[in-house]
Amino acid sequence: MVLAGCNLIVLAGGQASRDSIGYLVGWGLVGLVILATPIANFINAEVSLANGLVTKRGVFRTVHRWNASDINRIHPYVRWMSGDSDFIDYVVYRFMLSSGGIAFTLSQAWWRTSDIQALAAGLNLLVPTPSRS
């Protein structure tokens, strides 16, 4: 959408009219909202353990709750981002339900390792070494 707005100005040639600038700004804002929405879910996100309940909430997400006794293990794995170099790879921790489903996921890209380990300790779970596959 942003590129379409840029094409309008480039193809028009000469001076860009007020309408084409308004078009570019409008679509540029729409594009920014589309790009920012997934990232905004992690801003001020919170996972807490209290009274036997694990609660996870984010800015745009509804609050989700699980009984702490239903979460029985953590499945960590490395998310490959960089190919040959390990520079931007990071570990993802899936907190698994006893039914086999995924309760929630925390990643080192957004969460401090110490916070993830503290939550695991509160749930009496071992944080295994992540698999590379």
Interacting residues of 118 by C-beta distance below 8 A, sequence separation 6+ = none
Whether the full predicted model's pTM is greater than 0.85, yes or no, is no
Per-domain residue ranges for the chain?
Answer: 2-40, 46-122
Q: 15-24 pLDDT, tens per residue?
A: 556 667 777 7
Of the chain, the end-to-end C-alpha distance in Å amounts to 36
How far apart, in whole angstroms, are the C-alpha atoms of residue 127 and residue 120?
7
What confidence score (pLDDT) does residue 93 get?
92
What confidence score (pLDDT) does residue 5 get?
46
Q: 120-129 pLDDT, tens per residue?
A: 999 999 988 8
Alpha carbon 90 to its chain centroid, in Å, reads: 12
